[in-house]
Amino acid sequence: MNTGSISSKWLVVYFSLSGNTRSLARELASKLDADCLEIQSGRKYSSTPLGYIKAAWDTGMQRNVGFTIENPPASLSQYVGVVIASPVWMSSIAPPVQSFLQAYAREFKQVAFLVTLGGNGAERAFKQMENICNRMPVGTLAISSKELIRRESEKLTAKLDEFAGSLRTAPLKKVA
Ligand SMILES: Cc1cc2nc3c(=O)[nH]c(=O)nc-3n(C[C@H](O)[C@H](O)[C@H](O)COP(=O)(O)O)c2cc1C
C-alpha cells in the first residue's frame, strides 16, 4: 500500500473473477496515484460453466456471500473518495462487492463506480451501488469486453484518463 499523505488520496476497491476489472482498476489506481485493494469473495467462484452458474445464482438471489480484504486500512474515511469496481453479473454488481458495500459504504466521503461487462446492465449496476451507498457517484465508467478484447488502447486510455481527471477535480461536498 502507498504510504503518501492520505487526505487527498483516492482508494480503488475491486473484485474480479476473470481479470478484466482487475486490470482496469489497477490502471486507474496508477493514474490516480490511489491505493488499491482487492475484494476476495467469501464464496469461491471458478471460471468454469459450473462456476458461472453458481455466480449467477448467488447474484439472482442477492446472496450475502461475504468477503475478505488483505490488510484493510483502519478506516476508509481517510480517503477523499472510493472507486468501487465490479464486473456486471446478471445486470447487477457481483455479490462480494455488494457484501463489501453493505459493510463499508457509510465510511465513504465520496464514491465513483467502474464496471466491466459483456454489454448490458451497467445502468442497473450503477443504480444498485448508488442505492447501497445512499449517495450519487461523482463519476461512472462502464467498459465492455469488446473494448477490452479489441484493446482499442487509445480509446480505452482516453476514457480512463478522462475518468481519472474527473475524480481528481471532484469537489468534496461537506456532509452535514
Ligand atoms: C455469472 C456472470 C454473469 C454475467 N452477467 C452479465 C450481464 O448481465 N451483462 C453483461 O453485460 N455481462 C455479464 N457478464 C460478463 C462480465 O460482466 C464481463 O465478462 C466482465 O468483464 C468480467 O469481469 P472480470 O474479468 O473482472 O471478472 C457476466 C459474467 C458472469 C461470470
Pairing relationship of beta strands 92-93 and 81-89 according to DSSP bridges? antiparallel
Q: Give per-residue pLDDT as tens, 84-103.
A: 999 999 999 999 999 999 99
List phi, psi (to 5°) of 52. Answer: -65, -35
Banded pLDDT at 3 (limits 50, 70, 90)? very low
pLDDT recorded at residue 166: 95
Q: Which domain holds residue 94?
A: 10-168
Q: Is the pLDDT of residue 1 over 70?
A: no
Report the distance separating Cα 36 and Cα 12, nearest Å.
Answer: 5
Asked if the structure places residue 160 within a domain, the reply is: yes
Asked if the structure places residue 1 within a domain, the reply is: no
List phi, psi (to 5°) of 89. Answer: -120, 125
pLDDT recorded at residue 5: 54
Distance 90 CA to ligand 1 centre (A): 7
Asked if the structure places residue 3 within a domain, the reply is: no
How crowded is residue 73: how many other Cβ atoms within 10 Å of its Cβ? 15
Report the distance separating Cα 7 and Cα 173, nearest Å.
Answer: 14
Asked if the structure places residue 173 within a domain, the reply is: no
Please tell me the number of Cα atoms within 13 Å of 142 on its side-chain side.
16
CB 146 within 8 A of CB 116: no
Which helix H or strand E contains 125, and what residues bound it?
Answer: helix 122-133
Asked if the structure places residue 174 within a domain, the reply is: no
How crowded is residue 103: how many other Cβ atoms within 10 Å of its Cβ? 13
Distance 161 CA to ligand 1 centre (A): 23
87 CB under 6 A from ligand 1? yes
Asked if the structure places residue 175 within a domain, the reply is: no
Mutate to test the pocket of ligand 1, among 117, 128, 144 (most ligand atoms within 8 A of CB): 117
Q: Give per-residue pLDDT as tens, 23-52.
A: 999 999 999 999 999 999 999 999 999 999
147 CB under 6 A from ligand 1? no
Asked if the structure places residue 143 within a domain, the reply is: yes
Asked if the structure places residue 118 within a domain, the reply is: yes
3-state helix, strand, coil in the chain (%, to 5): 40, 20, 40
Report the distance separating Cα 103 and Cα 96, nearest Å.
Answer: 11
Q: Provide the number of structural domains found in the chain.
A: 1
Banded pLDDT at 176 (limits 50, 70, 90)? very low
Specify the pTM. 0.94
What lies within 8 Å, CB to CB, of 141 at 6+ separation is 112, 113, 114, 115, 159, 160, 163
Q: Give per-residue pLDDT as tens, 111-158.
A: 999 999 999 999 999 999 999 999 999 999 999 988 887 766 788 999
Distance 174 CA to ligand 1 centre (A): 35
The CATH number of the domain holding residue 15 is 3.40.50.360
Q: Give per-residue pLDDT as tens, 50-67.
A: 999 999 999 999 999 999
Distance 110 CA to ligand 1 centre (A): 26
For the chain, what percent of residues have pLDDT higher than 90? 82
Distance 117 CA to ligand 1 centre (A): 5
CB 109 within 8 A of CB 80: yes
Which helix H or strand E contains 85, and what residues bound it?
Answer: strand 81-89
